[in-house]
């Protein structure tokens, strides 16, 4: 086995290690048997799906997108349209076309369709936005996010407007989340190792050199954008079915901020960074939310004011950027050493 | 009727232009897309009232006479911007523009939630200079006094800024830095002074926007800078990143288009005005991805 082959084989262990890490996390939480902890675990795994989806684009291309929360929004509503009971829909969403109003799909095909619709939307908008250079493209994705939010908040007959859509089937357990998170991780690893993924990372490292080598930056960015929107759409659908209630503002700036924070804290340069970032930030958020609700230490009641969670996460993000700008994992992946994978067989150069 | 529209377009476009300038100034000197600019605006709004979470706002600084209030508020905006530069962006001077942008986004969230903790989440009614709401007859149109004041103020700010940038030493250094920062430093421009100066100006411009917003809407809300900031971003992109005249021109253009859309769109489509606006902007960018007034330094040199 050549050194190259051994390295290639070793890189396959990254998604396996990450899935094992998440499985261990779910098993650990399961062992506690606590309901609110179980919910937190399910939410964390949904965020893994979202952030890994986000990473497929942002990590490989080096372009920050502020628009991925909009794909989650579209996904959540598509799944609600397909799965809600017809009686409920005629009450809440009278403007839906007939065949959608009558539909009462199983949740799995609905989640897939949610992802596909988000991906189609990404294909259409990305075709326009991704022609811009990096920073201008980021700003355009921000405009896209605001555009989707404006439409969703005002298109009342179809989206329910700013009032929430309620009654979604709450089927998402930590294991459902783990399933989708694993799919996202495997696809992200496959995309990252594909020719398109490599080409896209080349444009991230040096745009001019990459285009001089004949890489069509626009095409690869669009491919990554579309794949990444699929998982954000699915993540949004799962989010809706975890809480049972959706609202356009649940998929706006605070979700964008949280996804960015997770990616930055873990390190945008690697898939493992995305996953570790979600775990670390989710656990921190859970702790802070409990502190905001108040804890009793001995005889004194102690609570942080509401909003301090965002302040602390924001400060943590700034500190990470100042002192460890590549994130906790600094662009490295969790990986088994190539020598282990190759076994005893000596690697030849 | 049509004259009324012209006044609407000028006053709205003027605010957008001022906000866009605040963003373009900082982008010019340090390639930072400042996502905290909207929160600078919100901070300046809340600086007018006494800190408390009560539903009723008590005017603090806002009760002062205009001659004291305006300079003081500009100083508050400038102070906040300079403090952010010193604490957050100076340590990040050498990181990529993307990381800078993410840091400013985080800073914006921190400022917004700090306001939320101190002042509470509910919007508060505040009345600043209510006598300016009275309409005046001008050239056959009924125009609120405030609108005329806003247009005059915007023109004054733009004129002052143009004189400062063209005539003063700081202005010259700032323009040189925006053109080519490395070269400007080699020729003896002090980086820290120029960057701090750009932040101070940008903060003062944010405070100007805050004053106009409060006088127009009569509310203080922690989220109020966000929408203006988004439009200002769009104006800087449409105008060509880093071009100051481009940002101003695009700000006025977006104001005009949005007033025109409001007048032309059928009633049912009006809530979607902003969506149309953003869609239009994406169309413009498809035709001219580098913006209307692309600066020479916008393209990477090899």
Tens of pLDDT, residue by residue over B5-42, are 888 888 889 899 999 999 988 888 888 888 899 999 99
In this predicted structure, the answer to whether residue B240 has a pLDDT above a threshold of 90 is no
Which pLDDT score, from 0 to 100, does residue B162 have? 87
Reduced 3-state DSSP string for B34-95: CCCHHHHHHHHHHCCECCCCCCCCCECHHHCCHHHHHHHHHHHHHHHHHHHHHHHHCCCCCC
For A268, the closest chain B residue by CA position comes to: B99
Query: What are the pLDDT digits (tens) for B81-98?
Result: 999 999 998 888 878 888
Helix axes B191-217, B2-30, angle to 10 degrees: 150
Burial class, B217, CB count within 10 angstroms (exposed 0-12 / middle 13-18 / buried 19+): middle
Helix axes A253-266, A271-293, angle to 10 degrees: 120
Which pLDDT score, from 0 to 100, does residue A50 have? 94
Residues of chain A with pLDDT under 70: 1, 338-339, 342-349
In this predicted structure, the answer to whether residue B292 has a pLDDT above a threshold of 80 is no
Q: Rounded to whole angstroms, how far apart are CA atoms A8 and A54?
A: 24
A306 vs B: CB within 8 A: yes
* Contact state of B113 with A144 under an 8 Å Cβ cutoff: no
State CA B190 to chain mean position distance: 26
Provide, as residue numbers in chain A, all residues whose Cβ is less than 8 Å from the Cβ of B112.
310
Which pLDDT score, from 0 to 100, does residue A183 have? 94
DSSP string covering A263-282? HHHH-TTSHHHHHHHHHHHH
In this predicted structure, the answer to whether residue B300 has a pLDDT above a threshold of 70 is no
In this predicted structure, the answer to whether residue B302 has a pLDDT above a threshold of 70 is no
Which pLDDT score, from 0 to 100, does residue B295 have? 57
Provide, as residue numbers in chain A, all residues whose Cβ is less than 8 Å from the Cβ of B105.
257, 260
Which pLDDT score, from 0 to 100, does residue A73 have? 94
DSSP string covering A221-239? HHHHHHHHHHHHHHHHHHH
Q: Which of A139, A147, A321 sits opposite B279 (nearest CB)?
A: A147
Which pLDDT score, from 0 to 100, does residue A244 have? 87
Helix axes A217-243, A174-193, angle to 10 degrees: 180
- How does A240-271 read in b/e, with b if 16+ C-beta sit within 10 Å? bbbbeebbbebbbbebbbbbbbbbbbbbbbbb
Q: Which of A62, A129, A314 sits opposite B109 (nearest CB)?
A: A314
> Most B CBs within 10 Å: which of A132, A323, A327, as the mutation test of the B interface?
A132
Query: What are the pLDDT digits (tens) for B150-196?
Result: 888 888 988 988 898 888 888 888 888 877 788 888 988 888 888 89
Cβ-Cβ contacts under 8 Å between A and B: the total is 134
The answer to whether B28 and B198 are in contact (CB under 8 A) is yes
The answer to whether A220 and A200 are in contact (CB under 8 A) is yes
* Contact state of B105 with A131 under an 8 Å Cβ cutoff: no
Q: Which of A142, A306, A318 sits opposite B106 (nearest CB)?
A: A318
In angstroms, how far is the first alpha carbon of chain A from the final one? 9
Task: Tell me the sheet residues that pair with A166.
Answer: A245
Which pLDDT score, from 0 to 100, does residue A345 have? 54
Query: What are the pLDDT digits (tens) for B47-89?
Result: 888 777 777 777 777 677 777 888 888 999 999 999 999 999 8
Q: Rounded to whole angstroms, how far apart are CA atoms B176 and B277?
A: 34
* Contact state of B98 with A64 under an 8 Å Cβ cutoff: yes
For B115, the closest chain A residue by CA position comes to: A307
Q: Which of A143, A151, A322 sits opposite B230 (nearest CB)?
A: A143
């Amino acid at each position: 086995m050549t050194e190259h082959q051994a390295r290639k084989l070793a890189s396959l262990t990254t998604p396996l290690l990450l899935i094992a890490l998440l499985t261990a996390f779910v098993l650990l939480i399961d062992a506690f048997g606590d309901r609110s902890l179980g919910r937190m675990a399910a939410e964390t795994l949904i965020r893994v799906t979202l952030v890994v989806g986000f990473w497929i684009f942002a990590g490989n291309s080096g372009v920050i997108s502020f628009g991925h929360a909009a794909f989650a929004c579209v996904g959540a509503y598509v799944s609600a349209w397909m799965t809600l009971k017809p009686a409920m829909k005629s009450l809440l969403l009278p403007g839906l076309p007939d065949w959608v109003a009558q539909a009462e799909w199983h949740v799995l095909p609905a989640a897939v369709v949610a992802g596909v619709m988000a991906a189609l939307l990404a294909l259409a908008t990305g075709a326009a936005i991704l022609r811009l250079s990096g920073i201008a493209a980021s700003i355009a994705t921000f405009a896209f996010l605001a555009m989707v939010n404006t439409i969703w908040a005002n298109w009342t007959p179809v989206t329910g407007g700013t009032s929430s859509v309620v009654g979604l089937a709450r089927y998402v357990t930590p294991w459902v989340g783990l399933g989708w998170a694993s799919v996202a991780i495997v696809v992200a690893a496959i995309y990252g190792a594909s020719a398109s993924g490599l080409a896209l990372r080349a444009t991230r490292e040096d745009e001019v050199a990459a285009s001089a080598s004949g890489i069509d930056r626009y095409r690869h960015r669009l491919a990554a954008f579309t794949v990444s929107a699929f998982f954000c759409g699915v993540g949004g659908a799962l989010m809706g079915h975890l809480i049972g209630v959706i609202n356009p503002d649940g998929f706006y700036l605070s979700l964008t901020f949280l996804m960015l924070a997770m990616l930055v804290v873990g390190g945008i340069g690697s898939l493992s960074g995305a996953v570790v970032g979600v775990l670390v930030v989710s656990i921190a958020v859970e702790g802070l939310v409990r502190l905001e609700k108040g804890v009793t230490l001995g005889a004194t009641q102690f609570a942080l004011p509401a909003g301090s969670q965002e302040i602390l996460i924001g400060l943590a993000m700034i500190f990470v950027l100042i002192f460890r700008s590549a994130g906790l994992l600094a662009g490295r992946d969790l990986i088994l050493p190539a020598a282990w994978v190759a076994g005893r067989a000596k690697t030849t150069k | 009727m049509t004259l009324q529209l012209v006044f609407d377009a000028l006053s709205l476009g003027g605010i957008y232009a001022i906000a866009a300038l605040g963003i373009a100034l900082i982008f010019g000197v340090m390639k930072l897309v400042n996502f905290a600019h909207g929160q600078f605006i919100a901070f300046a709004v809340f600086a007018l009232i006494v800190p408390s979470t009560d539903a009723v706002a008590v005017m603090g600084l806002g009760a002062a006479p205009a001659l004291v209030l305006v300079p003081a508020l500009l100083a508050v905006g400038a102070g906040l911007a300079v403090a952010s530069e010193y604490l957050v962006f100076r340590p990040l001077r050498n990181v990529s523009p993307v990381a800078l942008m993410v840091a400013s986004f985080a800073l914006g969230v921190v400022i917004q939630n700090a306001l939320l903790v101190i002042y509470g989440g509910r919007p508060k009614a505040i009345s600043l200079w209510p006598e300016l709401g009275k309409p005046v007859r001008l050239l056959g149109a009924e125009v609120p006094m405030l609108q005329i004041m806003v247009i005059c103020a915007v023109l004054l700010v733009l004129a002052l800024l143009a004189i400062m940038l063209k005539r003063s030493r700081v202005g010259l250094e700032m323009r040189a830095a925006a053109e080519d920062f490395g070269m400007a430093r080699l020729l003896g421009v002090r980086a820290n002074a120029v960057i701090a100066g750009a932040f101070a100006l940008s903060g003062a411009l944010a405070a100007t926007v805050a004053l106009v917003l409060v006088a127009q809407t009569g509310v203080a809300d922690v989220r109020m800078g966000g929408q203006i900031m988004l439009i200002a971003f769009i104006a800087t992109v449409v105008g060509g990143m880093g071009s100051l005249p481009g940002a101003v021109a695009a700000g006025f253009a977006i104001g005009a288009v949005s007033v025109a859309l409001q007048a032309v769109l059928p009633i049912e489509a009006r809530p979607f005005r902003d969506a149309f606006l953003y869609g239009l902007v994406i169309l413009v960018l498809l035709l001219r991805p580098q913006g209307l007034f692309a600066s020479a330094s916008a393209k990477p040199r090899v």
